[in-house]
Amino acid sequence: MAPPPLAALHSLGFPAKRLADLATMAGLSLWQPQAGNAGGRVKPTALRVLVLLGHAWEDQVANTWTEPYTAWIEVAALADHSILELIQRARDTSLYISFTTITANRRDLAGEVLSMIGGRRRLSRDSRDNIELALHEALSNAVLHGNLQLESLSGLSVDALERFSNNLTCRITDPDFANRRIDVICDIIGDAVTIDVVDQGNGFLPKPRPEPQASGRGFDLISVSCQSFRLLDGGRRLSMRFPA
Amino acid sequence: MDYAIDIKEQEALVRLTGRLTFNDHAKLRALIKEMLQNAAKRQILDLANLEFVDSAGIGMLLIAREELSNLDKQFILRKAGGQVKRVLTVAQLGKLITIEE
């Protein structure tokens, strides 16, 4: 069964006037947590709230990984029309997250998404481990090789690791790379959980490795952790399916 | 990830705790340098209290093995359990690094 439609908009660290205008344009009502309707006391199907976040790395965001929130959009430098496009994408999805690359790199997003799925489905330990690992690897690929366009680590040496780390620091402090989007689209329907991770890089396709290297195992771990996966949009979108 | 090193004669026992992921690259570089500099011939990584490892963590363990072998030092992984044991198995790390129960 498809999730009920998105019903309301909430925000953290966002001007009230702009929020009200966006809510009107999106046709959503505004929602404020009050004693009794926050912290998991709302029935999961009763209300779905999208939260707009000024900058999503802040600690207060951790308080929103709970019902009735089902969609999280980090606004950063986005214009209103881009925000409305993302709200549209979030409408029919069980869980939707759109963060900047710098935020996706800072947060334990895999663990946070897993806790939200766990709030909707009773998962075995193995299922939890599989989803967390596959999602963690997918996000790492999307951040490092997708949006930050870093080459795989070459050579098995501390110096090579240091070079890779330095390149990462350069890219993640460059707004052109750091503000690219990472989207996580999760649907929990019937006996399956599907999770798509989308980046805005040049497209990444795994290559066979001639001999043991320090990198390149991410897709091996993804393939053993999910029921099936597909690379779409030239490698910018990884779609994974898990039994639930 | 955090680590503590206990050196006894020819053996250095390194206990890892927490999660080992790419975000630990700075700590891993520091750990590898410590293992290269101490006098022990056998460097043992105790993974009993490591909760999670990812593909980047596996890559960094391979870098440690390579650097230590350049100095004729032995590198051994010990007591992996749960998710960590499964990832080591999937990555077939046993072909490249000595893994003990």
Q: Could you read off the pLDDT of A11-25 as tens digits, one per residue?
A: 887 888 999 999 999
- Tell me the torsion sign for CA atoms A230, A241, B59, A176: positive
Judge: B54–A164 Cβ closer than 8 Å, yes or no.
no
Q: What is the mean pLDDT of residues B26-53?
A: 96
Per-residue pLDDT, A59: 73
Per-residue pLDDT, A60: 77
Share of chain B above pLDDT 70, in %: 100
Judge: B55–A221 Cβ closer than 8 Å, yes or no.
yes
- Tell me the torsion sign for CA atoms A136, A137, A142, A144: positive
A231 in contact with B, Cβ within 8 Å: no
Per-residue pLDDT, A161: 93
CA pair distance A32, A30, nearest whole angstrom: 7
Judge: B54–A153 Cβ closer than 8 Å, yes or no.
no
Tokens of A13: 């660290």
Q: By CA distance, what is A165's nearest residue in B?
A: B25
Provide, as residue numbers in chain A, all residues whose Cβ is less than 8 Å from the Cβ of B91: 217, 220-221
Query: Residue A29: in which H helix or E strand, if any?
Result: strand A29-30
A138 in contact with B, Cβ within 8 Å: no
| Pick from A36-50, A230-244, B21-35, B73-87: least confident | A36-50
Query: For tokens 């053993």, what's the residue?
Result: A224
Q: Are A218 and A140 in contact (CB under 8 A)?
A: yes
Does residue B2 sit in helix, strand or coil?
strand
What pLDDT digit, counting tens, does each position of A154-171 carry? 789 999 999 999 999 999
Per-residue pLDDT, A42: 45
A213 in contact with B, Cβ within 8 Å: yes
CA pair distance A64, A43, nearest whole angstrom: 16
Does residue A26 sit in helix, strand or coil?
helix
- Give the residue among A125, A227, A82 at the shortest CA–CA distance from B82: A125
Ranges of chain A with pLDDT below 70: 1-3, 35-46, 208-212, 214
| Torsions phi, psi for A140 (to 5 deg) | -60, -45
In the stretch 27-66 of chain B, residues with CB closer than 8 A to chain A read 28-29, 32-33, 52, 54-56, 58-60, 62-63, 65-66
Triad B86, B89, A104: Cα angle to 5°: 55
Judge: A137–B60 Cβ closer than 8 Å, yes or no.
no
ipTM score over 0.95, yes or no: no
Which residue of A135, A166, A221, A224 is the best one to mutate when testing the B interface, meaning the one whose CB has the most B CBs within 10 A?
A221
If phi > 0 it is left, if psi is from -120 to 50 it is alpha, else beta; for residue B41 that is: alpha
Q: Are B45 and A129 in contact (CB under 8 A)?
A: no
Share of chain B above pLDDT 90, in %: 95
End-to-end CA distance of chain B: 21
Question: Which CATH code, of 3.40.50.1980, 3.40.630.10, 3.30.750.24, 3.40.190.10, is assigned to B2-100?
Answer: 3.30.750.24
Q: By CA distance, what is A144's nearest residue in B?
A: B22
Tokens of A12: 């953290």
